[in-house]
């Protein structure tokens, strides 16, 4: 089974258990923290077969304080340690996040801008996208110095490009008679 399929299977299983326990949001928040911790490790340091079972259980125990009083997540990480899947936690977290977003009617969008956006600008973008998509929009901001100015928004496989760089390129093509 491919690593992506493994992550999807574990992520779906955790999501279903969290939904049954009415704990989707709290577990998702904690899982994101654990995923960030695992992502900060040296790449390949949790590759299957690299750590002994005892080392994997020790690592799971070291992560336990992150879970607070969330026994479901603690047991889940124990299962991952047992099955040598701790390195899959970031991918599992992404699957879990997508399932949680779909269940809550949310859509995540990537907003790239040349400089930080004000709260009013971000709210305007979010509200426009909510009207367009019919979903609650969760913007993920990214600063891109190559944009010169303006913003680009990626949502559900579509790119809305309002960057100055793109507008200048379009103007150049129009002036050359290409458009």
| CATH code for the domain of 150 | 3.40.30
Look up the CATH number of the domain holding residue 48. 1.10.520.20
**pLDDT of residue 10 exceeding 90:** yes
Q: How far apart are CA 94 and CA 32, in angstroms?
A: 8
8 and 75 belong to one structural domain? yes
pTM (2 d.p.):
0.77
78 and 26 belong to one structural domain? yes
- To the nearest whole percent, how much of the chain has pLDDT over 90? 59
Identify the three-state secondary structure at position 10: helix
128 and 155 belong to one structural domain? yes
Q: Average pLDDT in the 63-75 region?
A: 82
94 and 122 belong to one structural domain? no
| Amino acid 53: pLDDT | 92
For 101-122, how does the pLDDT look when each residue is reduced to its tens digit (9 = 90+)? 999 999 999 999 988 999 999 9
| β partners of residue 163 | 150
The number of folded domains in the chain is: 2
91 and 115 belong to one structural domain? no
* CB burial of residue 106 (10 Å; 0-12, 13-18, 19+): middle
Q: How far apart are CA 153 and CA 127, in angstroms?
A: 13
């Amino acid at each position: 089974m491919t690593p992506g399929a493994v992550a999807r299977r574990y992520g779906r299983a955790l999501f279903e258990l969290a939904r049954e326990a009415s704990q989707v949001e709290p577990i998702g928040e904690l899982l994101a923290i654990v995923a960030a911790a695992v992502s900060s490790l040296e790449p390949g340091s949790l590759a299957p077969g690299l750590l002994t079972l005892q080392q994997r259980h020790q690592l799971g125990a070291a992560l336990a304080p992150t879970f607070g009083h969330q026994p479901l997540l603690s047991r889940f990480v124990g299962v991952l340690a047992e099955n040598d899947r701790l390195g899959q936690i970031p991918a599992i977290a992404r699957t879990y996040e997508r399932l949680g977003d779909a269940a809550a009617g949310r859509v995540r969008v990537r907003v790239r801008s040349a400089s930080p956006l004000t709260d009013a600008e971000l709210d305007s973008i979010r509200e426009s996208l909510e009207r367009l998509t019919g979903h609650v929009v969760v913007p993920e901001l990214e600063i891109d110095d190559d944009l010169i100015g303006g913003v680009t928004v990626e949502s559900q496989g579509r790119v809305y490009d309002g960057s100055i760089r793109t507008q200048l390129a379009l103007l150049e093509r129009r002036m050359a008679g290409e458009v």
